[in-house]
């Protein structure tokens, strides 16, 4: 099954505090965005990679070896002020309504073929498919430094990307969300808000999003573990 992937890459990396787009930081000898890109660049099922970026970063992106390697598949589009807007810009660059579109954070370099296959296999059975892992910690709701509630962990999952949809469904959900001012931290939440059904497949605890400085250390360890 063929698919396209939108990889939002227009963040400023504020929580990383590196003073630059964190996707240009290296894990081992490669930048985070090149690691992410190469998974989709090598995957024969992926026929287009759409990369919403900050135009100020364009030269830097174009200078990366992996960008050159996969440039036939690659389309740059302008990113937005929020991730949601960046994704919407990316999806709008795809013409075919029936295309399967994966949305994947540029900051998750350890996405696996196994996760992609599970998403594709389930993509016809509901409006959207996400990958997630059961949470390991006890989760409490905190208000003004005081515990308000302990939430039953048995039903809680931490959600990752990629997430799979058709172009048509993504366009419809993002258009409505923009019109009504609904904001979600992932794409599936826009569909949920519209009452659509989202299927969940198993993600991978190694499929981390590199967000803060600690994650760089975890990422180095994951990379090293893969080579052992």
The residues binding ligand C5P (CB under 6 A) are: 8-11, 23, 52, 79-83, 86, 105-107, 209, 211
CB 53 within 8 A of CB 21: no
Q: Which is nearer to ligand C5P, 107 or 198 (CB)?
A: 107
Q: Which is nearer to ligand C5P, 1 or 81 (CB)?
A: 81
Q: How far is the CB of 195 from ligand C5P (least distance, A)?
A: 26
Q: How far is the CB of 21 from ligand C5P (least distance, A)?
A: 7
Closest distance between ligand C5P and the C-beta of residue 90, in Å? 8
Residue placing its CB nearer to ligand C5P in the complex, 126 or 135: 135
Our CB check for ligand C5P shows the closer of 108 and 172 to be 108
Minimum distance of ligand C5P from residue 148's CB (angstroms): 25
Place of tokens 């690691």: 35
Compute the distance between CA of residue 26 and CA of residue 210 in angstroms, rounded to an integer.
11
């Amino acid at each position: 099954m063929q698919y396209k992937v939108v990889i939002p890459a227009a963040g400023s990396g504020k929580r990383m505090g590196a003073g630059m787009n964190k996707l240009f930081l290296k894990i081992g000898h490669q930048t985070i965005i090149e690691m992410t890109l190469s998974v989709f660049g090598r995957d024969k099922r992926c026929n287009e990679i759409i990369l919403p970026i900050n135009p100020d970063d364009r030269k830097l992106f174009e200078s990366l070896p992996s960008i050159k390697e996969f440039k036939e598949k690659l389309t740059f589009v302008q990113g937005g002020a929020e991730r949601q807007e960046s994704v919407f810009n990316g999806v709008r660059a795809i013409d075919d309504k029936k295309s399967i579109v994966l949305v994947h954070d540029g900051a998750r370099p350890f996405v696996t073929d196994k996760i992609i296959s599970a998403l594709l296999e389930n993509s016809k059975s509901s409006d959207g498919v996400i990958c997630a892992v059961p949470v390991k910690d006890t989760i409490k709701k905190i208000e003004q430094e005081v515990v308000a509630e302990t939430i039953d962990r048995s039903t809680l999952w931490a959600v990752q990307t990629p997430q799979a949809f058709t172009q048509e469904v993504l366009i419809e959900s993002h258009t409505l969300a923009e019109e009504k001012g609904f904001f979600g931290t992932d794409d599936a939440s826009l569909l949920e808000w519209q009452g659509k059904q989202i299927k969940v497949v198993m993600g991978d605890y190694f499929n981390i999003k590199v967000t803060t400085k600690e994650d760089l250390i975890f990422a180095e360890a994951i990379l090293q573990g893969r080579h052992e």
